Structure 1
Amino acid sequence: MSTFKVLQFNMQFGQVWDDADPDGAPVDIERTLAEIRSHDADIVLLQEVEHAMPGGAQPYPPPNYTYLSKSLDGYHGFFSYPKADPRELPFGIGLAIFSKTPLFDTSTRHLPSPPIEFEFAGEQKTPTDRLLIGAKTRIAGHELQLFNTHLLAFFMLNSSSEHHSDQRQLVIEQMRRHSGGPTLLGGDFNVSKHDSLVRQFAEAGYHAVQTHEVTWRRRPYVLDHIFYNRHLSPVRHAVIPTMASDHHMLLAEFTFAD
């Protein structure tokens, strides 16, 4: 049986975890790199690759992605920032896909955010748009469609993606277009009560590799997922605690069902 490994990781732009001062912890991209390398995954899906700059500036080339690309020998990569926006808050932005096999047919889909008002640093704000990226690769003679996303954290805005479902629905629509062949979706879905998300994706033909183990250090939520369709079979999975981010890693191994 030929299998391949997928690593899902919100790397929080390389900021390590410190129980005493999580927001003031240092950035250590070398530790991020070491964590990724240690799992020797065939596919790596990363969120919050870069640190958002003041005024929404997006440096090119993106520094963290560029460093990872040069350091991850034998991997092919694709990266995208979200739509540039001066409202961007100083957190993590940008998505990346790395693969040991060449990537092709890359795509970027912007996911609009609703104009929900919230307070940040004493000012009234509205959220910026989110992102879904895609790419194809070939593994063991099979064409594999990959997607990676990072949705808005509505729970941080005292709201819910069940009430503001457009981003989830746009991702579902994209996934349905690719249901005819092996397709994987990873990401930080930022859904605190994830049962409705899992049900919604199951109705569209995609199942989560795990729904019980917490993947975020700040609150006991399962935010990170890998979804797969009927053309793939999960062999094993593990949530892997790491001090290299405020998120844990999710590692899953698959085989082709067809």
Structure 2
Amino acid sequence: MKPFRFLQFNMQFGQVWDAADPDNAPIDLEVAIAEMKRHDADIITLQEVERAQPGGAQIDPPPNLARIRAALPDYDCFFSYPRQDERELPFGIGLAILSRTPLTETERHEIPSPPVEFEFMGETKTPTDRLLIGARTQIGGREVTILNTHLLAFFMLRSSSGTHGSQRQQIQDLLARAQGPTLLAGDFNVSAHAELVAQYGKVGFRTVQQTEVTWLRRPYVLDHIFYNEGLHCVGHQVVPSTASDHLPVVADLSFVE
């Protein structure tokens, strides 16, 4: 059986990368869609699909997702917003899994955030909760579980997920219960990524790469594709791109016979 291709991409709601002024870079969803298309992936995991609205409002149906689905009609899709929260800041929100084969047994898990206080626009805030979604599909008659998450960036709050480890631990507990070939992808927002890799290695998961930077704002490896012993990574690439402030990660994987 030939390998299948997996694309992990934090698309930052379509805001392109401008090193001179990243916070005010234009939004061009077509650039993000072109990035998705050019890798010809069998499975795609996306974070920050939509932009959070004032007061935590969530547009339904999600407009960016609708454009993505129209542009990639051959993919099945599972999308979810996190729990609606009026504290939501105007950044990226929403997770999606796209697959060329039908998705079944979809799931979502709320991932609580601790009440770490931080300043934003002159006001004291606490972070909103995060999310993990999952689904199963069959590739070449073999079943695989796909998990997708986007964790809190504690380093932006002058803290760390090492100090506040509940989100990482919740996902580790899910991985420990995984049955059969399983993939976990996403933006883990862990600046000390070696600690994360070692943690998930304890329950049998490895990342396709941990040496190349995946975030353009700081030299961090934030984005990962983890896989367990039911799968083998035969190749990977961190893709140069200006479609987002995160670089796409592509992996070619095969099932262990």
TM-score range, shorter chain: over 0.9
2:11, 2:81 → 1: CA distance?
15
Pairing 1:109-258 to 2, within 5 Å after superposition? 109-178=109-178, 180-258=179-257
Q: Deviations over 1:150-186 (max 9, x none)?
A: 00000001111111111111111111221x3000000
* Paired AA for residue 201 in structure 1: Y
* Paired AA for residue 222 in structure 1: V
1:28, 1:106 → 2: CA distance?
30
Deviation at 1:142, TM superposition (A): 0.6
1:203, 1:176 → 2: CA distance?
9
Q: Give the % identical residues.
A: 61
Structure 1 unaligned spans of 5+: none
2:234, 2:18 → 1: CA distance?
33
2:19, 2:2 → 1: CA distance?
40
Match of 1:72? 72
Pairing 1:14-163 to 2, within 5 Å after superposition? 14-163=14-163
CA RMSD for the aligned pairs? 0.6
1:251, 1:169 → 2: CA distance?
26
Deviation at 1:44, TM superposition (A): 0.2
1:83 partner SS? coil
2:202, 2:176 → 1: CA distance?
10
Deviation at 1:2, TM superposition (A): 1.7
TM-score between both structures, scaled by the size of structure 2: 0.99
* Paired AA for residue 14 in structure 1: G
Deviation at 1:73, TM superposition (A): 2.2
1:185, 1:15 → 2: CA distance?
24
User: How many residue pairs are counted as aligned between the two chains?
Assistant: 257
TM-score between both structures, scaled by the size of structure 1: 0.99
Post-superposition, which runs of at least 4 consecutive aligned residues in structure 1 deviate over 2 A?
none
